[in-house]
Amino acid sequence: MQTVSEVEKIVLDLVKPFDPEIDNEILPLSQVLNRILAEDIKSVLDFPHWDNSTMDGYALRYQDLEDLEDLNQNFKLAIASDEIPAGKAIAQTLAKGECIRIFTGGMLPIGADTVVMQEDSDRLDNFLHLKVKPKQGEYVRRKGEFIKAGAILITAGTKLGATEIGALASARCQQVKVFRQPKVAIISTGSELISLEDSQSLQTGQIIDSNLYALSTLINQSGAIAIPFGVVRDDRQELESVMRRAIATADIVISTGGVSVGDYDYIDELLASMGADIHVQSVAIKPGKPLTVASLTHSHLVNQEVNRSEDKILYFGVPGNPVSAMMSFWRFIRGAIAKLNGSNETYWYPQFIRVNTTEDLHSQGRRETYLWGRLSYIKGNPIFQPVKNYSSGNLISAIGTNAIAVMRINQTYVPAGDEVLVMLI
Ligand code: AMP
Ligand code: MG
């Protein structure tokens, strides 16, 4: 049995990230939400493109005010006859002792370096009286102040959200190169399972394959594509043929069930017979102790059409228990998808925060123990409320949760009010 951090490292070491030259697609900006950029994007322009005003007011030369001050005079400037709304190209040079009406986003005339807000001035005929002396450069965005032409705007590996997509649009990128989405096959194993779509009535002993739905959701949330391979009975031959098809199709294969030490648990045995390298068989984690991590290459699949011939295909055999299956995903598979799909390293690991628990937390201390709960805020302070009557076999008890408290090995008790490490999910 390996520790959680050992298994995390083994998994990440097995993942070879997508090649930006091969595993990419070029998509219009409208289709890149949550996708990972596969190339550095450089700014083609200076941002802002020219010096411009951030306020409605008057553009002026700061030196003119200094000169007036030296002469002990009021700040009184002549107002130029023209005015500068946003979008007007201005070639005019501001004369000495003059200011010009300007509006938010308007381009500063040559010579002007400062803007006085409308509210800080009085206009009298063709003259402007300044009520206060502005600071030099006030209310002006300088050309290239945000970014200079040629500098990198967004680096490869960045996940694209609203901010990044907006910035790409302002830099006139109509389409960008992003990594393709990993294909993740899901096989639900167990002779007791019935597909949700199956219309037959449930016989004694049968249960619905809920893992397909929970795991597909997690896979899609992680930016990968879930490919269902259906329910497979605990039958060696049937299982082997579906496993082979899934391995040939996907970048990552997840099967649920059949990885314990029971008589009907065939996954490890079949992987071994296919020549897979088995790296992990159990983890010191609760829930989720039985976990198989294996890797295969093309050579393991003679006579099969293969997706990525040279590269390793990762196989995760997770427990059938729905809560454990999700735990294995959050703790180990999510990071593998993030590394594979070209995301930068910050996305490879779960995020943890330290918060106070509202209730006592207990663990046997032998395995790293994960306890479901809800992270919320009371008067701005985060708190963790664990689920009452929690059972690792009971997905229903986890409804509405959004975080999981982590108790390290040998940590058996955290009293209410104390700090605990919490994993965000
Ligand atoms: P196993 O890991 O195969 O020993 O299964 C452990 C428990 O999880 C059993 O009670 C199964 O009935 C249940 N289980 C297995 N597969 C699924 C599934 N796909 N959806 C919901 N429950 C499952
Ligand atoms: Mg089973």
pLDDT tens digits for range 141-198: 999 999 999 999 999 999 999 999 999 999 899 999 999 999 999 999 999 999 999 9
* Nearest Cα residue to atom 7 of ligand 1: 321
Mean pLDDT of the chain: 94
**Whether the predicted pLDDT of 299 surpasses 70:** no
Q: Which ligand is nearest to the CA of 234?
A: 2
Each residue's pLDDT tens digit, 89-107: 988 899 999 999 999 999 9
d(CA 411, CA 341): 35
Residue corresponding to tokens 């990552």: 252
Mutate to test the pocket of ligand 1, among 203, 207, 208, 281 (most ligand atoms within 8 A of CB): 207
Specify the residue with its C-alpha closest to ligand 1, atom 8.
321
Judged by its nearest atom, the ligand closest to the C-alpha of residue 261 is: 1
Nearest CA to ligand 1 atom 23: 320
What is the CA(287)–ligand 1 centre distance, in A?
13
User: Which ligand is the nearest neighbour of the Cα of 191?
Assistant: 2
- Looking at the predicted structure, is the pLDDT value of residue 306 above 90? no
Joined tokens for residue 165: 């997509």
Please name which of 328, 316, 317, 331 lies closest in space to residue 190, comparing C-alpha atoms: 317
CA of 268 to the centre of ligand 1 (A): 16
Q: Which of 25-29, 184-188, 366-370, 389-393 has the least mean pLDDT?
A: 389-393
And the tokens for 148?
């200079």
Residue 392's nearest CA partner among 320, 287, 289 is 287
Q: Please give the Cα distance from 204 to 185 (Å, whole number).
A: 29
β-partners of residue 373 are 386, 403
Q: What is the pLDDT of residue 303?
A: 52
Give the Cα separation of 318 and 43 in Å (integer): 45
Q: What is the pTM of this model?
A: 0.91
The residue whose CA has the least distance to atom 3 of ligand 1 is: 257
Rounded Cα–Cα distance for residues 2 and 14 (Å): 16
Q: How far is the CA of 383 from the centre of ligand 1 (A)?
A: 32
**Pocket-forming residues, ligand 1, beta carbon under 6 Å:** 188, 190, 192-193, 207, 209-211, 256-258, 260, 319-322
Nearest partner of 121 among 97, 101, 141, judged by Cα: 101
Amino acid 200: pLDDT: 87
**How does pLDDT run across 390-418, given as a tens digit for each residue?**
777 788 999 999 999 999 999 999 999 99
**What was the pLDDT predicted at 199?**
87
Closest CA to 274 of 242, 251, 252: 242
Could you tell me the distance, in angstroms and rounded to a whole number, from the CA of residue 320 to the centre of ligand 2?
6
Q: Where are the alpha helices (DSSP H) in 208-282?
A: 211-221, 236-249, 267-273
**199-208, pLDDT tens digit by residue?**
888 899 999 9
Please name the residue whose Cα sits nearest to atom 15 of ligand 1. 320
The arithmetic mean of pLDDT across residues 249-271, rounded, is 92
Is the bond leading into 290 cis (omega within 30 degrees of zero)? no
Interval between CA 193 and ligand 2 midpoint (Å)? 9
Distance in Å, CA 321 to ligand 1 centroid: 5
Question: For ligand 1, what atom is nearest to the CA of residue 319?
Answer: 2
* Ligand 2 mean position, distance from CA 287 (Å): 16
- Confidence class of residue 224 from pLDDT cuts 50, 70 and 90? very high
Average pLDDT value for residue range 240-247: 96
Which pLDDT band holds residue 300 (cuts at 50, 70, 90)? low
- Cα of 264 vs centre of ligand 2, distance in Å, is 7
- Mean pLDDT is highest, among 46-50, 215-219, 302-306, for 215-219
CA of 214 relative to ligand 1 center, distance in Å: 13
**For a pocket test of ligand 1, which of 256, 281, 316 has the largest count of ligand atoms closer than 8 A to its C-beta?**
256
Going by alpha carbons, the residue nearest to atom 10 of ligand 1 is: 321
pLDDT for 107 equals 96
Q: Which ligand is nearest to the CA of 290?
A: 1
* Ligand of minimum distance to the alpha carbon of 187: 1
- First-to-last alpha carbon distance for the chain, in angstroms, is 25
Q: Whose CA is nearest to atom 5 of ligand 1?
A: 320
